[in-house]
Amino acid sequence: MKFILLEKEKDSIKIEVADPDQTIIQPIITELLNDKNVDIAQCFQRHPVLDKPIIYVKMRSGKPETAIKKAAKNLSAEYGKALAILEKEL
């Protein structure tokens, strides 16, 4: 996946997801929504074939890029734990 910055303001950011993998976009949005500093986190796509998904994040406080990086790190840690458990069990 590749992320392309479309718009950045003081408290919000819009990022286009090139070569999207829907199985990771929704967990990122969910993780962002669990952050008390995030006001809005959503993904939208006008046309499912012609358009790429866009992630929009608006903050109550803090920087949106920091929140996205934190969400990605949290998910990486969670998936890493799950992988470690699966490797032990299987």
pLDDT less than 50: residues of the chain? none
The whole-number pLDDT of residue 21 equals: 72
- Domain covering 2-89: architecture: 2-Layer Sandwich (3.30)
Residue spans per domain, the chain: 2-89
Residue 11's pLDDT is: 96
Alpha-carbon dihedral of residues 2, 33, 57, 71, nearest 10 degrees? -40
Q: So what's the pLDDT on residue 1?
A: 77
Q: Where are the alpha helices (DSSP H) in 1-90?
A: 22-33, 64-89
* Single-letter amino acid code for the residue at 62: G
- 5-30 pLDDT, tens digit per residue, is 999 999 999 999 988 777 889 999 99
pLDDT of residue 89: 80
Confidence (pTM): 0.85
